[in-house]
């Protein structure tokens, strides 16, 4: 293997704003397109690094959480500007470490910056405070009512585990970091070994913003290390108050157990596993079976299928229209070329999961893609089975992280509903329905509300809009807490908790619940929303 160089990278992680050369196991990034290693060599952190990072985060908490909403908003805007300021250096390094195309990474950088600016806007708007005021009623009978006010306050230092499949948007400055910083929580990121250079560049952009705004050094740190060791040490450190995680079910469950077994348990918001079922109702198939087949494969193969919303499962009723869909999808899969997987390990796991599904006695392969030129690649594949087999065999419900999907042929709509109802919790479910299908779709939506975090119609699940109404979450095992989302403005709620203030003197009240509404935010006063 040859080694590429990158002159501005140091191979350091950051404890506060201070670069630190690790003394643990070495990490060398690999270009999955060429198989080349990428300089410099990074190293895992040690226990002392963890202790230092959590200590200074805890020391920073009271100062950082008392910054104004406007001050934190400006801080998030500065991080966004600093990331943009990294220019081609960031995009080039992310492309080399991930094998993802430049256009995809430019879009991902835009999403990363957009998330930071979204939370800056949330802070300025103010409803995140959850401000409520129940004024005193001294003459109420039989007992007077005290003056009681409520606002949300930050939990404390948050550990964020970066994802492998989004080196920017779900990584060092991704949604978990942005929402935690917005809430007023210092953040310690455990960066992903797959893209250490990208992580260093973004971490430096955040640390620069910390210094620019005169914030305490413990506001942000970034470490490298294995989840089983450094990750568990971070999660179990008494200073840590919450965890954000995107990754495998095994990794998420291990961290959730570790957090639950602490002397003081803490929440772990883990996004873990989803196969994102697609339901093709008969009317939709009659109208556009061939078109649906082609567009389905476009979604399936996007980013080599390495999205948490990859459509890995399709349900439809047997008939000529389903045959037309399968023919169209098979042709599109057969014309597709294998694309680079993010890491050698992900490529190996994909091939193993794909092989297990293909070789199952009750599964038939319809089509497979053509080999490409990447050193570590995954070939797309389309497989089929019958609903009786799917209902009887739990192995057919397993996630295969990559561009492989299983079509489940159902005898009728009753069997289709039964198969959908057998699913575990998912991030998304997609329904393709013509107007004639709406009666059946209504019943399906009732089922899906119990199964998923996002229901979408006549589209595809890949692509998650960052906004106020988005839910990127779902029932277990999609996430560890179905009440939350890791994308969109509601993500800030994960890192806040309510505090009531009863008969507190007016001059001691926080501004969000002070008399006269000095922050000019919407508040629920005596049960009614008002800005007065």
Residue 33 has pLDDT above 90, yes or no: yes
Condensed to tens digits (0 to 9), the pLDDT of residues 461-503 reads 998 999 999 999 999 999 999 999 999 999 999 999 999 999 9
Does 308 qualify as catalytic in the annotation?
yes
Query: 478: closest CA among 500, 454, 498, 460?
Result: 454
Distance (Å, rounded) from C-alpha 167 to C-alpha 141?
A: 60
CA distances from 379 to 101, 104, 292, 372, 532 (A): 17, 19, 21, 8, 60
Q: Phi-psi category of 346—alpha, beta or left, where left has phi over 0 and alpha has psi -120 to 50?
A: alpha
Are 485 and 474 within 8 A, CB to CB? no
Average pLDDT over residues 401-411: 97
Condensed to tens digits (0 to 9), the pLDDT of residues 310-352 reads 999 999 999 999 999 999 999 999 999 999 999 999 999 999 9
Query: 270: closest CA among 254, 286, 285?
Result: 254
Name all domains of the chain by residue range, CATH numbers in brackets: 3-128+153-272+485-493 (3.40.605.10), 277-457 (3.40.309.10)
Condensed to tens digits (0 to 9), the pLDDT of residues 218-273 reads 999 999 999 999 999 999 999 999 999 999 999 999 999 999 999 999 999 999 99
Give this prediction's pTM: 0.95
Distance (Å, rounded) from C-alpha 31 to C-alpha 226?
A: 20
Of the residues 200, 217, 233, 271, only one is catalytic, namely 271
Average pLDDT over residues 2-10: 58
Condensed to tens digits (0 to 9), the pLDDT of residues 277-322 reads 999 999 999 999 999 999 999 999 999 999 999 999 999 999 999 9
The overall average pLDDT reported for the chain is: 96
Q: What is the pLDDT of residue 463?
A: 87
Angle at which helices 102-125 and 69-85 cross, to 10°: 170
Helix (H, G, I), strand (E, B) or coil at 188: strand
pLDDT-based confidence at residue 1 (cuts at 50, 70, 90): very low
Residue 154 has pLDDT above 60, yes or no: yes
Of the residues 308, 321, 324, 410, only one is catalytic, namely 308
Helix (H, G, I), strand (E, B) or coil at 383: strand
Q: What is the pLDDT of residue 3?
A: 37
């Amino acid at each position: 293997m040859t080694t590429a160089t990158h002159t501005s990278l140091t191979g350091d992680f950051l404890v506060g704003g201070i670069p630190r050369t690790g003394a643990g196991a070495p990490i060398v990034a690999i270009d999955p397109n060429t198989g080349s290693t990428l300089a410099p060599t990074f190293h895992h952190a040690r226990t002392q690094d963890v202790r230092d990072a959590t200590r200074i985060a805890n020391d920073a908490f009271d100062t950082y959480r008392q910054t104004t909403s406007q001050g934190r908003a400006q801080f998030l805007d500065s991080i966004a500007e600093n990331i943009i300021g990294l220019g081609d250096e960031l995009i080039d390094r992310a492309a080399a470490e991930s094998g993802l195309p430049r256009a995809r990474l430019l879009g991902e950088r835009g999403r990363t910056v957009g998330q930071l600016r979204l939370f800056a806007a949330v802070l300025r708007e103010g409803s995140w405070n959850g401000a409520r005021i129940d004024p005193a009623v001294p003459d109420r009978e039989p007992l007077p009512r005290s003056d009681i006010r409520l606002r949300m306050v930050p939990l404390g230092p948050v550990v964020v585990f970066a994802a492998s499949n989004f080196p920017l948007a779900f990584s060092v400055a991704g949604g978990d970091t942005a929402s935690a910083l917005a809430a007023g929580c210092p953040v310690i990121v455990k960066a992903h070994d797959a893209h250490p250079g990208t992580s260093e560049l973004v971490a430096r952009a955040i640390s620069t913003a910390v210094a620019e705004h005169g914030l305490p050094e413990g506001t942000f740190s970034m470490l490298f290390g294995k989840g089983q060791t450094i990750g568990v040490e971070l999660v179990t450190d008494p200073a840590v108050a919450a965890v954000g995680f995107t990754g495998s079910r095994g990794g998420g469950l291990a961290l959730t157990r570790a957090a639950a077994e602490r002397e003081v348990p803490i929440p772990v918001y883990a996004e873990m596993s989803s196969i994102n079922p697609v339901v093709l109702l008969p009317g939709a198939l009659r109208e556009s079976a061939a078109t649906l087949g082609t567009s389905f494969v476009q979604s399936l193969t996007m980013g080599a299928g390495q999205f948490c919303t990859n459509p890995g499962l399709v349900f439809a009723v047997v008939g000529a229209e389903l045959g037309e869909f399968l023919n169209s999808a098979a042709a599109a899969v057969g014309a597709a070329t294998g694309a680079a997987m993010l890491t050698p390990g992900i490529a190996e796991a994909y091939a193993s999961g794909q092989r297990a599904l293909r070789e199952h006695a009750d599964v038939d392969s319809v089509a497979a893609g053509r080999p490409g030129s990447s050193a570590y690649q995954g070939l797309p594949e389309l497989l089929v089975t019958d609903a009786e087999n799917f209902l009887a065999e739990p192995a057919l419900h397993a996630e295969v992280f990559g561009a492989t999907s299983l079509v489940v042929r159902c005898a009728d709509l009753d069997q289709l509903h039964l198969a959908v109802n057998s699913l575990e919790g998912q991030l998304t479910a997609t329904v393709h329905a013509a107007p004639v299908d709406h009666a059946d779709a209504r019943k399906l939506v009732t089922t899906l509300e119990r199964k998923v975090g996002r229901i979408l119609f006549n589209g595809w699940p890949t692509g998650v809009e960052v906004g106020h109404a988005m839910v990127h979450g779902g029932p277990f095992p999609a996430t560890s807490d179905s009440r939350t989302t890791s994308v969109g403005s509601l993500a800030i709620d994960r890192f806040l908790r309510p505090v009531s203030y009863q008969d507190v003197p007016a001059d001691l009240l926080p501004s969000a619940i002070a008399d006269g509404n000095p922050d000019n935010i919407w508040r629920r006063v005596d049960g009614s929303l008002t800005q007065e």
